[in-house]
Amino acid sequence: MGLHMRLNRLNSLMFLFLAMAGGPLSSGVYAQLSLDSLDPRQMAHDIYSGVNRGSPPASVALKIAEVIRVYRFRCTRVTDYQVFVQRPNLLDIKAKCSGDPLYGVTVASNGYVAVYGGNGMVSALDRRDALIYSFGATGQLESDSRLTADEAFDETVERLQLGDDWNLMYVLAMFAVILAGVIAIAAVWFRMWQKRKSKQKHRRKVKPMARHTVQATTSVKDQLLKESERVAANIYKHPSGMYIARGKRGKRRFFRSRTWAAMYRSFGVRMFETSAPQMIGEPMPSDGAE
């Protein structure tokens, strides 16, 4: 801040020296000295205060043009500006200079200021964002985007009339989507209900990891083992198609698949265990189970 004040004083002394010496002072040098003597922080505070206190838009536009030029952007005069975002202690302004793309100017109550744009990066002015002020060649306010009650009513009616077809298509599309969703949910629910009913009617007799209620005594297992054929180590196949597997502890279990019999023999896992088959020509006792 001290360096900036020293530069301002130096520029003022140069201006006075040239004026007292009677030397020619070009308009470019005068404009440069005038810009250098401006304090951007004070200008930002002036713009912020002017917008919030309801200062004339023409004076605010002059301040905006000055701060744009201070940041070495080209701006002959501001033709339009819009305060499109207004936050506590901060303002975002879109400014249109004559013959140039839009600039963005951000000012704060503490003197913060930023200028950007001039290359098409700032979007166009939109009346729906905020009020737009427009100025003539003399710098005086010519018009703003404020609508009267009649104009607002006419514009609303015009939008509704132009959008009748689109609104109807939108409503029909939404109804179709909702109907499809309801049908899909109903179909899934009906399918799940149907499967549950079918499982209740045709419940499987064999369940994984479930101890079978019908067991056989040691003598019955010995007899079944005699009737069976050895197909692998500790795995036997009975003529009924059942497999008898001997586990690591010597327990003999019955399975419908050789795979589950091998699982029990090797790891002791009783998957899909089933009841003992009927002995050939003899009834199977039900007491003294192993």
Q: For residue range 224-261, list pLDDT tens digits in order.
A: 888 888 898 889 998 888 899 998 888 898 998 898 88
Confirm whether 140 is domain-assigned: yes
Query: Do 147 and 155 contact (CB within 8 A), yes or no?
Result: yes
* Residues 51, 138 within the same domain: yes
Confirm whether 164 is domain-assigned: no
Q: Which of 144, 159, 180 is the last residue of a domain?
A: 144
State residue 32's pLDDT score: 44
**Domains in the chain, number:** 2
Confirm whether 8 is domain-assigned: no
Confirm whether 184 is domain-assigned: no
Say how far apart CA 98 and CA 69 lie, in whole Å.
13
Angle 70-120-73 (CA atoms, 0-180°, nearest 5)?
15
Whole-model pTM?
0.42
Q: Which of 144, 163, 193 is the last residue of a domain?
A: 144
* Residues 212, 118 within the same domain: no
- What is the tens place of the pLDDT at every residue in 111-148? 899 999 988 889 888 888 888 999 988 888 877 656 55
Report how far Cα 107 is from the mean position of its chain's Cα atoms. Answer: 30
229, β-bridge pairs:
237
Question: DSSP assignment, residue 209?
Answer: T
Host domain of residue 226: 206-290
Confirm whether 66 is domain-assigned: yes
Query: Do 206 and 274 contact (CB within 8 A), yes or no?
Result: yes
Say how far apart CA 206 and CA 270 lie, in whole Å.
12
